């Protein structure tokens, strides 16, 4: 892996961490405001986190081919 690949992998991990953290924080705020919508908010949060994780995994894997 070259120097640019390492930088790319680091940026991908940083972006995924920030994205999932923001989703979690927003979901907790939404649940605090509307406790009756907990199931819907959690389901949407899990789907969104999985999509972000998949994109991050693809980004990290692609740095190995660069």
* pLDDT tens per residue, range 8-59: 889 999 999 999 999 999 999 999 999 999 999 999 999 999 999 999 999 9
What is the distance between the alpha carbons of residues 17 and 55, in angstroms, rounded to a whole number? Answer: 12
Residue ranges and CATH numbers for the domains of the chain are 14-65 (1.20.20.10)
Long-range CB pairs of 19-23, under 8 A, 24+ apart, other chains included: 19/52, 19/56, 20/49, 20/52, 20/53, 23/48, 23/49, 23/52
Full-model pTM: 0.83
Per-residue pLDDT tens digits for 11-20: 999 999 999 9
């Amino acid at each position: 892996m070259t120097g640019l690949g390492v930088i790319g992998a680091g940026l991908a991990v940083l972006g995924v961490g920030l994205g999932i953290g923001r989703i979690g924080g927003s979901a907790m705020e939404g649940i605090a405001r509307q406790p009756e919508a907990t199931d819907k908010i959690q389901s949407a949060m899990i789907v969104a986190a999985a999509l972000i994780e998949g994109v991050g995994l693809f980004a990290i894997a692609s740095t190995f081919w660069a």
